[in-house]
Structure 1
Amino acid sequence: MADDVWNRDEVESPCVRVCVVHPEARICTGCLRSIDEITRWSKMSTEERRAIMTALPDRADLLRKRRGGRAARLARGG
């Protein structure tokens, strides 16, 4: 049946087309995946994809860490 092609049981990519790698966290600021995960996504098993999707919400904190603000600038002499 032709409709079966469009009804696959695959984990969708979390890509939101904001492809910028955070310089310190080394993850994409859009989808929160590592470069390796992004590269291998199409070849991953369903189980691997689900494991990554489960881990993504916890990674958001890596991008929200403060860098020190004013106190850090003063400590650096800036």
Structure 2
Amino acid sequence: MAVPDLKSLAKQIAMDVLSAASIGLTAPITMMIRHDPGSNVYCLVWEPSKIYASIIGVSIFLAILIIGRLQKWRDLQKS
């Protein structure tokens, strides 16, 4: 198996960060949309706790993902 160079590793990590951040930050916003019964109006009710929880979750996910990618890259460098 060919060892990826540092530039391709950085590109993979950047793409992972962008995709996780976009999903992780849009999900709580969609959960904050409320619909009043009997009305055709949708309201966006800001709940900071959902945004904070999402940021913490995305940060943990990205840390695990980046560490895994770096370990895999290091193992490929050794072989």
Q: What TM-score do the two structures reach when normalised by structure 1?
A: 0.35
Relative CO higher for 1 or 2, CA cutoff 8 Å, sep ≥ 6?
Answer: 2
Greater helix content: 2
Q: What TM-score do the two structures reach when normalised by structure 2?
A: 0.35
Greater strand content: 2
